[in-house]
Every structure is written in C-alpha cells, then in structure tokens.
Amino acid sequence: MKGIRRLAEHLDISIGTVSRALNGRPDVNEETRRRVLDAAAELGYVPNQSGRSLRQGSTSSVGFMIESGSGIAGNSDNFFFGVFDGVQNVLGRHHLDLVVLPCSTDEDPAAYLQRMVTRRIVDALIISATHRKDHRIELLNKARIPFIALGRSGTQGPHPWLDLDFEGVANRSVDRLVAKGHRRIAVGAPSNDINLSFVYIDGYKAALERHGIEFDPRLVLRVASSELGGYQLAHDILAMDERPTAVVLVYELLALGLYRGLNEAGVMPGRDIAVIGFRESLVAKFLSPALTCFKLSLRDLGIALGESLLASMPAYAEIYPQGTVRRVWPMELVPGESDAFTL
Amino acid sequence: MKGIRRLAEHLDISIGTVSRALNGRPDVNEETRRRVLDAAAELGYVPNQSGRSLRQGSTSSVGFMIESGSGIAGNSDNFFFGVFDGVQNVLGRHHLDLVVLPCSTDEDPAAYLQRMVTRRIVDALIISATHRKDHRIELLNKARIPFIALGRSGTQGPHPWLDLDFEGVANRSVDRLVAKGHRRIAVGAPSNDINLSFVYIDGYKAALERHGIEFDPRLVLRVASSELGGYQLAHDILAMDERPTAVVLVYELLALGLYRGLNEAGVMPGRDIAVIGFRESLVAKFLSPALTCFKLSLRDLGIALGESLLASMPAYAEIYPQGTVRRVWPMELVPGESDAFTL
DNA sequence: GTGACTTTCGTAAACGTTTTCGGCGCTGTG
DNA sequence: CACAGCGCCGAAAACGTTTACGAAAGTCAC
C-alpha cells in the first residue's frame, strides 16, 4: 500500500478526506485535518506529482528555457543563475517550482520547445535569448500556454515580455558621451540574430537624432558575441579612416577583448578613446581603467519576471492582476574611468 | 475527446493498439503501426507525460540540481551551461530529458532536494557543489534514487561521483613550481565547505611530501570564493613575514582578484611571484601576463557525467554496464607566463 | 417533531497512459 | 479434422490523485 492510501488506512479514514485535508479544503473538520497533517509529517507522505498532474491537468511547475551552448544567449551563466534565484523565489510563494530546460546545441530550439510544451511537463514558460523573428513565440501562442519572454522579439506582433532597458542605456550612454564632446560614437554589438542588438541600435539612432548628429551606418560594428568579438572590434575601430572617438558596447564580454585589443595598439580606454560598456559584470569590475557601465539586480529582475508570468496565468488571477506585460527593466549607471576621455 | 483516445477513434482501432504501435512493441502489424505513426504525426499527437509517468512509475527525465545563488556556482563563464550541454546530449540519445533544478538561496538545499525526490518529478539526479559532509547524499541513498555527484563528498562513505582531477592539478602545479626552485608555495582555496578545497589541499600536501618539503599550514589560505577572495589573498600573502614565492589557486576567479591585488602592491605575477591558476576560463585568457592554468572540455565532462549516471540506472543495464562510478576527470595544462618566476 | 440547512465524510468517477490477459482467425502439422 | 502455435488486436485493470455527489448526523427554527 502506497501513497495517500497508506495514509488513509493508517488513520482509518477515506482517501478523499485525506486529500481534502491536505489541500486545505473547507469541508473537513479541523480536528481531522490536524490528525492528517500530523500523520503525513510522521510518515513523510508527499503527494505523487504525476497523479496530481494527471487529475488536475496541471503540473505545478514552470519552465525556463535556455540554450545551453549559449554564447548565443549573450550572457554568462551567472546572469541566468541570478535570475533563476529571483524567479524561484516568487514562484515558491505560490507552491510552484521552477525547472530549467536546457536546449542542447544539438537540437533545434523550436523543436525542443514544442516537445516540452506538448508533453505538458510545465504549466507556463519563460523563454530567453529571444530572436528577432522567433518561431517559439508563434508556437507558444498557438499552444495557448502562458509565457513571457526575457527579451523582446522583433516582428511577430505583441507578446508578453520583460527586457533590459536597452534604449535607456543607449540614450544615457550617448548623452554622456555627447556632453563630453563626442560626435563619432561607434557601437559594438553582437552579430547574431538575438533581438537585443537591434533594440539597442534603434535607441542609439534616436539618441543621435535628438542631438542632431547624423547617423553613420559604418559606425555600427557587428561582431561575435564573445570576448574575441571585442578583440575584433578593437581592430575594426583602429582600422577605420575616420576613427570614432568613443565606443559603446551592447554586450558585457566585449569590453574584455576590446581593452586588450586597444592596449596592444597602445590606445588606452579613458585616455585616448571613450568606452561605455553594457552590463556590469564580474570581469568589468576588474578592468583597468574602470569600465563605465550599467548595473541591475538580477534577483529583482527574476522576481519581476516571475510576477509578470503569474500575471498571465489565469489560475493566479485573484493574486496578480491579469494582463500582458511589456516592460523594460531599468539599469543604473556605474561611472568609471573608461569614458573620461573628453574632446 | 483527447489524447490517445482521439487518435484511436480517428483510426478506428483500440487505444491499446495505438499505444503499442507508438511504443514500438513487437505485437502489432507493421501496416497498422505505419498508419498509427502517420496519424500521430498528422494530428500532432504527443503522449501526455503525467499519464505515462503515473502508469510506468517513471518520468523520463533526470534532474540536475544547482544552487542558484551560490558563490561556487557563480563561475566566471558558462561552466554549468557547458556541462548541461553534454549531459543533455547523452540523455537525448535515450529519450530522456534533462531538467535543471535550481535551488534558491532562500531554501535549504537538502529540503529542496527532498521535495524534488519525493514528488518524483525525475528518475535520477545529478548534484553539484558537493559539500564535505553533504546530507543530500544520505537522502538520495535512502530514497534509492539513482544519482551521481559532480564533485566528491568527504566523509559519508562511498557514493557515485565524477570530479575534476584536483589531485592531478595540485601535483603537476607543485612539480612545476618545485622544478623552478620554489619551496614556499602558498595555496589559495575557497573557505566554504565545498569539498573540492580539501581534495586539492590533500593533493598539495602529498606533492610536497614527494619532494621532501615540509608542509606549513600557514601557507594554506582560505578565502571567499569570488574575485574578492583573490584580492584578499594577495593582501594575505604580501603581509606574511616569510613571504611565499609561489601561489597555486583552487578556484578560477581567484586569479582575477589576485592579479589586481598584487599589481596594486607593485608585485608582478610571473616576475616577482609565480602563480598557477586552476581552470582556464574566459577571464584567465585575458589576464596579463597569461595565467598558467588547466583546461578541460565542459561538454565532454557533461557527456561522461550523463553516461556515468545511466550506468547507475537499472533501466539502462543493457546499454551501459552497471556500476558505481568514482572517477576523476583529467585536465590539461595550459602554460602561460604567470609562473615564469624562477628562483 | 418536522423540515431545512450545515457540517463532515465516504464513494466513485475521472485524468491519459501502459500492459496484461485472453480471444479471434489463420496456418501448419499430424 | 483436430489441435497447437502464431500474429494481431480489444477489453480492462492499474498507476495516485482530486473532486462531484450524495449520505449521515447534527443543529436550528418554527
């Protein structure tokens, strides 16, 4: 005899009552409920998830899809781990669990997601590394499964998302540099199809326009999303005939390679060229001269992400006002020395 | 009408036959099987996982528990993501899926694991960041659930594990330094209770002994497992009266802070002091002078981890020779300039 | 004291699968 | 012709839960 049946037998009551007691239903005597709870603790009973899911039509977990090969995700894993922590925290408050679904590099992400969705091992999904045109979004819409994207997609029409404030960062970066006299500001951005580069570049263009500076497409440099991309970026910049006097970066790791590339050419960030990075990361803190960049709380971002997801799950309508979230997450300037160079 | 029933009705055969056809049972006509497969593809049928799990008593997924907040998990580059990729690859070959279970910083890891185990949402488990005395191991043994640890535990008796070759690294590091005349070799190791420090230090002691050098406990410096720990380490070393002439590191991020701390004091790695790091990481590649350290293929490690886990799952006995794996994963020396300092 | 209502609980169906068992029809053998 | 064997399939049980429904007993008002 196993499971709830064992518990019921031990207490000499029916399994229905046990279930009701455990699930906090009102139609059970408080005295019996106490006995059930005690016995459950004593016998170490935990409901079988498959049984529950089958009957209820819902697992109590939400998935967070990542791409495990993720140079492409454009982030190092401590980024995601921080976010997981926040998401797990808010989900835990509602007896939901977070399971991370790592799509391997061997598999097509959309096919992987399709499998996860149809197998119904999660009730809702968070996707990340959103592409400009991302098939996963149509797929999730069609499956009518609640989801939110960490990162906007490009063209597919509106979908729920929470994203870093790329426009804000681009804006403030350009403002800061223009205030120091810069007019030729290069952009180093990942060359993959992840949408964030495009969002950033749009913000960059808008900022230039506000300052009456004409946009020069040659200043937009797309490179690999890795530290090597940053190295390449340094070479590209130094090779230009009208060399830019400032660079802004869309991806945290680029700073690493950029510094090295510039150093090798005897060009010092902050003295000979102004550099503003993107997200503050562990490595950015240790660059010298200190990189001007933007920071955020990963955990808080995760919490917001979790809450936004719950806001799209009908089952949590009483707790979270339902609605489609499309929101930008603010980032805070961390001034350094890398943009000290003034014209 | 949903699920397999819908499919059966559509084909006008019984659900039993459909199930058998889908699962490759021999007792079904090949013609019927083809029809079923075609119809399944056409209607987009995918078996409900809860139903399967309930009936079969096994989910077809394995869990990989990580601690989402933990300093040790906060590797500078995608350590875990690389491992996930390898694990997912080997599991996928057997129609298993990997789900990552991130324990939040708010929750006790053992309690979290207990919940995951009893809810039976995975058939087997991989745990990481193994502590010296790790309650999770007793728990998993008691639950009789197949598992493997990425990292040895200390005292609890034998358990399946796959671990980086800390002894080997310690050995070769010490050998290399001794060959250059060093006798006072400091160790920088994380001060937390994760077991790897202890394993490394044991290897370090053994290596010293082999060279007839007396072990000096003051040379073992335990610091925070972060780049700041490395910074602290630099200060600690510089403050010693009998200053060591070489340092070996057990954790990759330490190099970052160590370099900065030494630089600030005008001490240059490779010229004034010899440094050998641990794992080659993204940041190590960009340190100057280049850090001597050890590299490994994360994906291959993941593959080995997955295979070792399958070797402990009875269901895969025909494919993987069953047995308890206790194995060390080799790392390859990447010579740099940081240990060029010779006495 | 009767009916209505409430509280509490037991019974049984249902969720979507897999798998055992038995049966049907056919073939081959004696 | 009888019977065994085989290939294929349908019926039904089982997995562990939750929950709709109804029943029993108690309470209350009249």
The mean pLDDT value of chain B amounts to 92
Interatomic CA–C1' length for residue B17 and nucleotide D2, angstroms: 31
Which residues of chain A fall short of a pLDDT of 50?
71-75
List CB contacts (< 8 A) between A227 and chain B. 282, 285-286
Question: Whole-model pTM?
Answer: 0.92
pLDDT at B26: 92
Given a cut of 50, is residue B74 above it in pLDDT?
A: no
Residues, chain B: 343
B82: its two tokens: 């690389």
Dump pLDDT digits (tens) for B82-113. Answer: 999 999 999 999 999 999 999 999 899 999 99
Residue B69's pLDDT band, with cuts at 50, 70 and 90, is: low
HSE of B8, CA atoms in CB hemisphere, 13 A: 16
What pLDDT does residue B75 have?
Answer: 53
Q: Distance, angstroms, CA A49 to C1' D19?
A: 17
Greater confidence (A224 vs B72) lies with A224
- Contact between chains at B102 and A100 (C-beta distance less than 8 A): yes
Cβ-based contacts under 8 A for chains A and B: 158
Distance in Å from the first CA to the final CA of chain B: 81
Q: What is the pLDDT of residues A66-88, one digit of tens each?
A: 987 654 444 455 789 999 999 99
Q: Tell whether the model's pLDDT for residue B308 goes beyond 80.
A: yes
DSSP E strand stretches across B94-192: 97-103, 124-128, 147-150, 161-164, 185-190
Distance from the A316 Cα atom to the nearest Cα atom in chain B, whole angstroms: 22
For residues B62 and B88, the answer to whether their CB atoms sit within 8 Å is no
Q: Note the pLDDT of residue B136.
A: 94
Asked whether residue B332 carries a pLDDT value surpassing 50, the answer given is yes
Summarize pLDDT for A220-243 with one digit per residue, the tens: 999 998 888 999 999 999 999 999
| The pLDDT of residue B76 is above 70 | no
Strand, coil or helix: what is A328? strand
For the cut 70, the answer to whether the pLDDT of residue B168 exceeds it is yes
How does residue B204 score in pLDDT terms, banded at 50, 70 and 90?
very high
Which of B46, B77, B118 comes nearest A119 by C-beta? B46
pLDDT at A157: 78
- Residue B226 pLDDT more than 90? no
Measure the CA–CA gap between A38 and A29, rounded to whole angstroms: 14
The yes-or-no verdict on residue B222 having pLDDT over 90 is yes
Separation in Å, CA B41 to CA A136, A145, B4, B45, B96: 19, 21, 12, 6, 20
d(CA A153, CA B211): 60
Region of A269 please: left (phi>0), alpha (psi -120 to 50) or beta: beta
Using the 8-state DSSP alphabet, how is residue A291 labeled? P
B16 CA to C22 C1' distance (Å): 14
For residue B70, the model assigns a pLDDT of 54
Which residues of A are less than 8 Å from B120 in CB distance?
A: 48-50
Q: How far is B156 from chain A (nearest CA, A)?
A: 23
> Worst-scoring range by mean pLDDT, A322-326, B75-79, B142-146?
B75-79
Q: Is B138 helix (H, G, I), strand (E, B) or coil?
A: helix
- What are A289's two structure tokens? 């001269």
In the numeric block, the tokens 């830019």 are attached to A244
Q: At what angle do helices B254-264 and B227-238 cross, to 10 degrees?
A: 40
Look up residue B108 and give its two tokens.
């006790």
Closest residue in A to B84 (Cα) is A68
Q: Which nt is closest to the CA of A14, judged by C1'?
A: C10
Question: In angstroms, rounded to a whole number, what is the distance separating the alpha carbons of residues A34 and A52?
Answer: 22
**Spatial distance from the CA of B21 to the C1' of D9 (Å):** 11
- Going by the DSSP 8-state scheme, the letter that residue A269 receives in this structure is B
Q: Give the chain B residue nearest A78 (alpha carbons).
A: B74
Residue range B266-289: average pLDDT? 91
Residues within a 7 A CB radius of strand C: A 13-17, 20, 27-32, 51, 54-55, 57; B 2-5, 15-16, 19-20, 22-23, 45, 47-48, 50-52, 54-56
B319/B22: higher pLDDT: B22
Residue nearest to nucleotide D20 (CA to C1'): A16
Across B189-202, average pLDDT: 93
